[in-house]
Amino acid sequence: MNSSIDICDQSILITGGTGSFGKSFVRSVLEHCPKVKRLVVFSRDELKQFEMQQEFPESKYPALRFFIGDVRDQNRLRRALEGIDTVVHAAALKQVPAAEYNPFEFIQTNIMGAQNLIEACLDTQVKRVVALSTDKAAAPINLYGATKLCSDKLFIAANNFKGARDLRFSVVRYGNVMGSRGSVIPFFLEKAKTGVLPITDPEMTRFNISLDEGVEMVFWALEHGLGGEILVPKIASYRIEDVAQAIAPSCRQDIVGIRPGEKLHEEMITRSDSPNTLDLGDYYAILGSGAHKQRAQYLDSKGAKEMPVGFAYESGSNDDFLSVDQIRGLIRQHINPAFEPV
């Protein structure tokens, strides 16, 4: 069975399709495949859908559909998935402090919503599913990360009971998305107007990925993923202090301390994952403990390499760090072409 697919010949549904990633994914699909069979945006915010329809009018994009619904509603998901071949799951509640205060809301969306989607895919004719994860799901210390770890486990385990269906569930896990809503760079750009930047800890580091790179990774997973793996990109890290210096070197920096539920450094692959981790070139793949067939296929036909026991992938010990000048260049490239430090 050939693992590759032609994304342009697919009927695609994206949950959370009005979010930062969703809009970028939709834009990329329509640019790459102007005659895509069908592209369905599934989300619960009718205002965001209306605003997105202004950007992508039906007259120009007749294959684009908007479907109001919540991943907490399995029946609605099942209806939305009729005739769908490919699913990208980006719907989630993700603000760490909000998760600590409203834990069951996050459980219902991030965990129960994931299982609802899995069940609905098993009941329809879906063939490929790629779910978005987060670095906070590796050795989680906050509730948001814990819910996403549960979600990852659900999607990986779904490959065990798909039966004879031509259906594959994969997960992609990456770090902070540059410029996404609620992330540090837009926050600092706004705070710079006050003359003061709140710094949690000068030593804090994070992984960095652009929206375009995140979308490209999902395309790769849809085309090459075998199912049953968590894919992790090889990306650069940055120091929070360097981000502050890149954006506003003239601003005073106030050290405010690490917030509850935050780590000093983020992980995407823990040492405990190392026996099940393969190097695929641009990406790592963390396989499920029982994914012997996928392991052999990656090693034999895709040129993968096994990682040594004890390997870990952490933002603080990463080999690749962005400089202040590189951060400024990325801000101009991905957020504001006219950006200048203040």
Residue 334 contacts residue 211 (beta carbons within 8 Å): yes
- 136 is known as an active-site residue: yes
For 193, residues 6+ apart whose C-beta sits below 8 A from its C-beta are none
Using a 10 angstrom Cβ sphere, with 0-12 exposed, 13-18 middle and 19 or more buried, the burial of residue 256 is: exposed
Residue (of 277, 240, 267) closest to 141 by Cα position: 267
User: Using CA atoms, how far apart are residues 253 and 327, in angstroms rounded to an integer?
Assistant: 18
SS3 sequence of 38-63: EEEEEECCHHHHHHHHHHCCCCCCCC
**Helices 211-224 + 20-32 axis angle, to 10:** 60
User: Using CA atoms, how far apart are residues 49 and 18, in angstroms rounded to an integer?
Assistant: 6
**Phi first, then psi: what are they for 152, rounded to 5°?**
-55, -45
Distances (CA, A) of 77 to 45, 94, 313: 15, 21, 35
Instruction: State the number of CA atoms in the 13 A half-sphere of 144 facing the CB.
Output: 18
Instruction: Name the active-site residue from 23, 35, 48, 136.
Output: 136
Residue 231 contacts residue 272 (beta carbons within 8 Å): no
Burial readout 304-338 (b: 16 or more C-beta within 10 A, e: otherwise): beebeeebbbbbbebeeebebeebbebbeebbeee
* Lookup result for tokens 């069908």: 38
Active-site positions read: 136
